[in-house]
Structure 1
């Protein structure tokens, strides 16, 4: 049916198989163009060296540029859990370093023996 507003309605006779094929092709192209934002994780310890920190920072930057969210995790082992303030400082430093491209979706919070923070790409890219 081309136009159902006219009287009588205007219809075109076409090959149904060809019509179905073109509809599936359009749906496949639309699906190919959409991007699902997944959560990527960057793990580190609170006593991380400067070079290792930069490697994790570049990983997070790459994930954010591709449109994914980043879950930054600081792992504690044993009695290291008493140094929560150092982990919070590290996570705040990472969010500050990535502030040009990312916004903090979840503030640093304790999750068992881990400290996590979630960053998402900024919506308004100028």
Structure 2
């Protein structure tokens, strides 16, 4: 029984071995591939033979890879023939993750700020929330304004729509509604996106000063 349990653990361990994100080396089973890369000049120097971007017999590239201690990595499996690079696989994955992280860090994150109204919001509260919304838009955030209808107040949907239309009008110099107010359950919503502020270029300002002179 102990031996069988031990054998089971060994088989389970083999199943847990991670599968490469890309086909590499002997996992690539096509007769020909297209070799690309920015390290072909270095590979040529180490092999002592000219290696250029182009189509090669897979066995030749695998042989070169073994001689140099490099991996053959399939980067475009659906191309005809598939495209590969000759590189260190761990370094290849590290560079890929680093570039993806840079792209994510540079991506603009959309911030949505919520402003809540009731169908009977008075003018003082309305003006207060408009001021907050203007600040959000000036900071580049979207504003999601909604009127929440409790209980029987659902009969005042028209009042809620007029309130949101007035809200949109107060903010039209800074933002534009993505769509007209609409009901979702017991809420009527509208999303306002900030407008891009057009900055005067230095060249334009300088030309204006020259005209004044």
Shift of 1:44: 1.1
Counterparts of 2:152 and 2:120 in 1: how far apart (Å)?
Answer: 13
Counterparts of 1:46 and 1:35 in 2: how far apart (Å)?
Answer: 34
Residue 45 of structure 1 is matched in structure 2 by: 118
Q: Specify the SS of the correspondent of 1:93.
A: helix
Shift of 1:41: 0.6
Structure with the bigger RCO (C-alpha within 8 Å, sep 6+) is 1
Residue 138 of structure 2 is matched in structure 1 by: 65
What is the TM-score when the length of structure 1 is the normalising length?
0.72
Counterparts of 1:61 and 1:113 in 2: how far apart (Å)?
Answer: 26
What is the TM-score when the length of structure 2 is the normalising length?
0.45
1:78 aligned onto 2:151? yes
More helix by share: 2
Residue 89 of structure 1 is matched in structure 2 by: 162
Shift of 1:106: 2.3
Q: Specify the SS of the correspondent of 2:180.
A: strand
5+ residue gaps, structure 2: 1-37, 43-93, 199-213
After superposition, the C-alpha distances for 1:70-122 in whole angstroms (9 at most, x for unaligned) are: 11010111111111111111000000000000011121001111111110011
User: What is the root-mean-square deviation in Å for CA atoms of aligned residues?
Assistant: 2.9
Aligned positions, number: 111
Greater than 2 Å deviation, 4+ residue runs: none
5+ residue gaps, structure 1: 11-19
Q: Specify the SS of the correspondent of 1:117.
A: strand
1:56 aligned onto 2:129? yes
Q: Specify the SS of the correspondent of 2:172.
A: coil
